[in-house]
Structure 1
Amino acid sequence: MKFRNFKLVGYVIFGRGAFNQLDEILAPQRKGDAPMIFFVDQFFKDKPAFTGRIPLQGKDKVVFIDVTHEPKTKYVDQLRDELKAEFGQVSGIIGIGGGSTMDMAKAVSLMMTNPGSSADYQGWDLVKQPGVYKAGIPTLSGTGAEVSRTTVLTGPTRKLGMNSDYTPFDQIVLDPELIKDAPINQRFYTAMDCYIHCVESLEGTYLNAFSRSYGEKALELCQEIFLKKPHWDDDADEKLMMASYAGGMSIAYSQVGVAHAVSYGLSYVLGTHHGVGNCIVFDKLEEFYPQGVKEFKEMVQRHNVTIPQNITKGMSAADVDKMIDVSLSLAPLWENALGKDWQQQMTRERLRDLYAKL
């Protein structure tokens, strides 16, 4: 048996106020006058109290990342081209925001040193050169993007990550203060990404003691935060940040499952954001994850969150076929969920019926 030898994040700092050490952390990574580029979620564009804390020096630049849509390969290539035209070389790229912003930072870091289009690297272990230095600083928690070896991108023909040992961040800064003011719905959808991929990991065929240890802890933290706490507080911020980290670690040696596989199709065709897309799908997956879906519905009710319904109603047959194509291309996710004979179980017609429920 051949075991996966996977790359972890280089350095981790955790704690309230950890963001204040960013200047000190970046200092040894600066190369001459080559700037640090800060990719910042556009949510912070008109929030100078936050952006003023970014430790800019010399030619450093803040680039506000448009997260209206999930990261696209053409956006990655555009930013890479603009940075190369303006600076030639950069010392590093720092992603500050949710999963989409951190994924953009990882992707552009890799494309500063690898030729062609980012669409050429959608898949497993296609990246051949290390990127420039990259750091991730989450201001939302749940996706696990801060620890994963992928950067999920929508390309010309599919939605698929750049999965490689060169993708993980060199440094992550986990500061619970940064997630305290997240909009309630957005916080919930993103946190449920963590909850859902823990359920999928723990009930998957790829499960081993490594992924189980992290997944069980992340699931326990989500249950405590969303089912037991009477109200949101600082302790919830800290626990959610660690649930995201542990959940991301769980799927490093495992995989996600049905909800993610189906959600990728929604995202590709309808542009549905990852967190809310997972919630839309998971809400209808009782036949696959009965206990997880029951708990999820209780969390939705307790926190008074609305899950969109009937989003596929009236879609053309061609668009539904495209969603099915994208979903079925994610073989590792289906195999983890259903086993090696997944293609006999998840036929196109069964998947078409599932999309019709959404």
Structure 2
Amino acid sequence: MVPKVVFGEGCFDQLTTILSSHKKDKAPFIYLIDDVFETNTEFIDKINLRFNDKLIFVSAAEEPKTSQVDELVKDIRSEFTNLPSGIIGIGGGTLLDLAKAVSIMLTNKGSAADYQGWDLVKKKAVYHVGIPTISGTGAEVSRTTVLTGPVRKLGINSDFTPFDQVILDPELTQGVPKNQWFYTGMDCFIHCVESLNGTFLNAFSQSYGEKAYDLCMEIFLKEDSLSDAESRAKLMMASWHGGMSIAYSQVGVAHAMSYGLGYVLGTKHGIGNCIVFNQLEEYYGEDVVLFKKMVEKHGIEIPQGVCANLTDEQMEIMINVAMGMVPLWENAFGEEWQSIVTPEKLKELYLKM
């Protein structure tokens, strides 16, 4: 679990104080920042750079890749003799996952692709801080950093992955485009649905999942009663609670199939979950009905026909990637999941998307 977290409007201003006790001699802090902030001088000025600290602006247009992590680690090692004092990720799920992965790979040998899986990391990561600027992914609290590798899309899931410190400032989520706000918020809602309906459910995950689910209902179906500030703060808390829920259980069908979309088509995680979940009434019943009400209420268009022109080879790869997410299927259907989830069934579902 994340050992330290601060929350509240304007708490980003505490960053310098928080980092001061972790500064090592001649060792920089490396900031990985969503490049949408590159021209926001007011925001950048709040980051109190000292000595050889470094800002690296990264595009979040594509899902994070193992090759991207390897390149960032190579560049940091070539520029600095000492290990950094810390890695600070500022942005959405892509930047937070990159920050977690880079902090791990600075102390572990090989490629990030070597660590895609469960509990493969052996050495403690460099100190790392997560600062989300969009809410819903749960990446700020998750023990997973999801990466697309050369042969699969799979997370580095380990006890060394979670951030050492998280700063939750709802002010930073102002100005997020509506579609992106919705898709990422639905990532949180789907986390809760899959956790609460899964076979891995326990009292810990249920308590967090139910709270996040209720917050999502309030935000996305009764939003008219909330001010913008209240809505931002509650979605940030929903994201945190949703991430905590799946940390002690798992996600399910939508996420497993979304990984296939992401690997083959490069579909961003949030929108990919929405595309899949839209077709899962067979498994998640009333929650899919509620999801469709949310889509209608906020005037969101879910892309259609994204799998219509896939080649047979692409479809096979997509199915294999999805079926490789064994813990997700076990959570959804139990140990006998393979009697329910077949390549034929997945193809049928993908062709509806």
TM-score for the superposition, normalised by structure 1 = 0.97
Matching of residues 133-144 of structure 1 within 5 Å: 133-144=127-138
Give 1:33 shift.
Answer: 1.8
Corresponding residue for residue 16 of structure 2: 23
CA–CA separation in structure 2 for the residues paired with 1:352 and 1:42: 37
Deviations 1:105-147 (A, max 9, x none): 0000000010000000000000000111100000000010000
Q: Which residue of 183, 186, 189 corresponds with 1:189?
A: 183
* Separation in 2, partners of 1:232, 1:21: 25
Alpha-carbon separation, structure 1, partners of 2:236 and 2:60: 21
SS at structure 1 position matched to 2:33:
strand
Match of 1:295 among 287, 290, 294: 290
1:12: which partner in 2?
Answer: 5
What do the CA deviations read for 1:278-316 (whole angstroms, capped 9, x no partner)?
000001111011111111111111111111110011110
Matched, 1:56 2:56: no
Q: After TM superposition, list the pairs within 5 Å mapping 1:135-214 onto structure 2.
A: 135-214=129-208
Match of 1:273 in 2: 268
Q: Percent identity?
A: 59
2:352 pairs with one of 343, 352, 357? 357
Q: Kindly state the Cα deviation for residue 232 of structure 1 after the two structures are TM-superposed.
A: 5.4
Which residues of structure 2 form unaligned runs of 5+?
Answer: none
- Distance of 2:179 and 2:43 partners within structure 1: 21
Task: Within 5 Å, give how 1:182-331 maps onto structure 2.
Answer: 182-230=176-224, 233-331=228-326
The structure 2 residue matched to 1:101, chosen from 95, 118, 136, is: 95
Q: CA deviation at 1:45?
A: 1.6
Deviation at 1:39, TM superposition (A): 0.5
Offset of residue 37 of structure 1: 0.5
Q: Secondary structure at the residue paired with 1:126?
A: coil
| Equivalent residue number for residue 330 of structure 2 | 335
- Which secondary structure state, in structure 2, belongs to the residue aligned with residue 288 of structure 1? helix
Q: Which runs of 4+ in 1 moved over 2 A?
A: none
1:73 is the counterpart of 2:66: yes
| Counterpart AA for 1:118 | A
Summarize deviations over 1:214-264 as a string: whole Å, max 9, x none: 000000000000101216510000000000000000001110000000000
Q: Residue 281 of structure 2 aligns to a residue in which SS?
A: coil
Per-residue deviation at 1:42?
1.3
In 1, distance between residues paired with 2:350 and 2:211? 31
Q: Distance in 2 between matches of 1:42 and 1:295?
A: 34
Q: Secondary structure at the match of 2:307?
A: coil
Cα distance in 1, alignment partners of residues 150 and 51 from structure 2: 37
Deviations 1:149-187 (A, max 9, x none): 010000000000000000000000000111122111111
Separation of aligned partners in 2, 1:175 and 1:249:
18
- SS of aligned partner of 2:139: coil
Which residue is equivalent to 2:124? 130
Q: Kindly provide the amino acid, as one letter, of the partner of residue 312 in structure 1.
A: C
Q: CA RMSD in A?
A: 0.8
Question: Residue 191 of structure 1: CA displacement?
Answer: 0.6
Distance 1:121 1:310 in 2: 34
User: How many residue pairs get matched?
Assistant: 351
Residue 195 of structure 2 aligns to a residue whose secondary structure is helix
User: Partner amino acid for 2:343?
Assistant: R
Task: Note the alpha carbon deviations across 1:302-332, whole angstroms, 9 max, x for none.
Answer: 1111111100111100000000000000001
Once residues 353 and 347 of structure 1 are traced to their aligned partners in structure 2, the CA distance between those partners, rounded to angstroms, is: 10
Task: Return 132-141 or 86-95, whichever deviates more.
Answer: 86-95
Q: Distance in 2 between matches of 1:120 and 1:278?
A: 26
Alpha-carbon separation, structure 2, partners of 1:62 and 1:319: 38
Amino acid of the structure 2 residue aligned with 1:46? T
Query: Matched residues in 1 for 2:111 and 2:241: separation?
Result: 32
Change (3 A) 1:286 1:114: same
2:37 aligned with 1:32: no
The corresponding residue for 1:3 is none
Counterpart code for 1:64: F
Query: What's the offset of the Cα at 1:53?
Result: 1.2
Distance in 2, matches of 1:43 and 1:320, equals 34
SS of equivalent residue, structure 1 residue 256: coil
